[in-house]
Amino acid sequence: MKMSVLWNKRFKDFWTEVSPYLRFVFNGGLIAFIVISFSIGSIYYRRFIENPPVDFPIHLLSACVLFWFIAYNPVRTYLREADLIYLVPAEYKMKSYFNKAILVSFILQCLALIMIWVVLFPLYLVTSNTNGLMFFVFLIALFLIKWIFMIGSWQEIQFKAVSHRKVYSYFRWVISFILVYILFSYHLPKGMLFIALVLLTYIVSFRLIPKFHINWDRLIHVEKQHKARIYAFLSWFVDVPQLPKRVNNRKTLSKSAELFSIQKRNTFVFLYYLTWIRTDLFGIVVRMTLVGMILIFFLTNDWMKYLFYIIVIYLSGIQLSSLRQYHKNMFWLYIYPLKNELRVDGILKNSFRIHLVIIFMITIPLQLTISNLTYGFILLVVSILLSYMYHQSLSKKIFSKK
């Protein structure tokens, strides 16, 4: 079998495995919520474009938005642990396999980049006195920069030393922001010349770093992470038996669990609190909350603030509901003399308490910046009530599947 054909088969097998869960995503209300939010947001965005502020920092905004899509370059290889036995001997034939993985990943990520640029360009057009042709000029330049960083990201995986991977990864994120900002801020000939020199130096520097020909262990580890993120997302809507669990050692944060009293009724409260602290769910929730707080603080339109306030509360509630997927099939839960009601209580107490903290945190920038504090207080009260009702319905859902 040709290696490019093998990649196609792996690609098809993975999405065949995932596709049964996708209908729960479409039926779960998230898509409708996103469509409604996008529709409302587009109305206010259009009004903003018609009358943008004087000296609006469009170059800085463009760099802040686009550099994420330039620097983040995951490559889906669909490798498996068994490949260490069966494919390593054929490593010299794997070039077409990995080339296909890089190319398809690049194309799919470029589609996302195009969508973001389509949304951003109308604002750039009215604030920078440019013409429509620059849409394609900048887009091609962004594609070229992203391709270089895609190759660079692939080379980083092959590094033998972990320290080299970390340094180059940090450098890639920082230099991505700088280059995108230069692309939009300076005249194209001079700006592109500087960008080309930086990228050339970046590519040449890889020759100085010791690398594996193919770092199989690292590639399989990265693939597991990609797969885990997809299943973690699907677990918001449906039970996913294949959901991998990754544990992060957060010693300082884990000590906060000592605040719980050592009692039988707190067994699962303690367990699921530590589960939240030590899994990827913690990072997802914290990042979303911080981004929501920053957006609410800097947005100038009160109704846009209310919209993002609701979005953060809604999405964080869905994310926290995935806490129930952890430990569900753990053998020890059926050995200890603990009732299932205690497990459900531990899940819901943690989820509800964390959700309340999120609600209060994003209320702070809202109340500090809106013109009518009464609306903010009403939103706070309604959000708490809806969160309570949501967790009550979640309790019934868990017990119905007992």
Domain boundary among 199, 229, 259: 229
Is residue 304 within 8 Å of residue 44, measured between CB atoms?
yes
Phi, psi of 74 (to 5 degrees): -70, 140
186 plus 269 within the same structural domain: no
Within a domain: 92: yes
Indicate if 225 and 264 belong to the same structural domain. no
Last residue of a domain, one of 204, 229, 254: 229
User: Residue 237 falls within a domain, yes or no?
Assistant: no
User: Is residue 186 included in any domain, yes or no?
Assistant: yes
Highest-pLDDT range among 31-35, 86-90, 176-180, 248-252: 176-180
Question: Given a cut of 80, is residue 340 above it in pLDDT?
Answer: no
The whole-number average pLDDT for the span 325-343 is 68
Is the domain of 101 the same as that of 181? yes
- pLDDT: which is higher, 270 or 97: 97
Does 210 lie in the same domain as 258?
no
Going through 311-372 in order, the beta strands assigned E by DSSP cover none
The answer on 167 and 32 residing in a single domain is yes
| Alpha helices by DSSP H, 131-186 | 134-157, 162-185
Based on the fold, state whether residues 205 and 301 are members of the same structural domain. no
Decide if 234 is inside a domain. no
Q: Looking at the structure, tell me whether residues 155 and 34 fall in a common domain.
A: yes
Residue 224 shares a structural domain with residue 313: no
pLDDT digits (tens, 9 = 90+) for 381-400: 999 999 888 888 877 666 55
- Would you state the pLDDT for residue 245? 58
Counting residues of the chain whose pLDDT is more than 90, the rounded percentage is 34
**Tokens encoding 378:** 């009403």
Element (H, E) at 399: helix 373-400
DSSP class of residue 159 equals: B
Percentage of the chain surpassing pLDDT 70? Answer: 84
Shared-domain flag, residues 312 and 197: no
Q: Which domain holds residue 184?
A: 3-229
Which ranges of 158-279 does DSSP label H, i.e. alpha helix?
Answer: 162-185, 188-205, 216-234, 251-254, 267-278
Whether residue 309 is found in the same domain as residue 358: yes
Mean pLDDT of the 159-180 span: 93
Q: What is the pLDDT of residue 188?
A: 75
Co-location of 280 and 329 in the same domain:
yes
Q: Is residue 284 part of a domain?
A: yes
Q: Which among 198, 229, 260 is the end of a domain?
A: 229
Domain contains 239? no
Domain count of the chain?
A: 2
324 and 377 together in one domain: yes
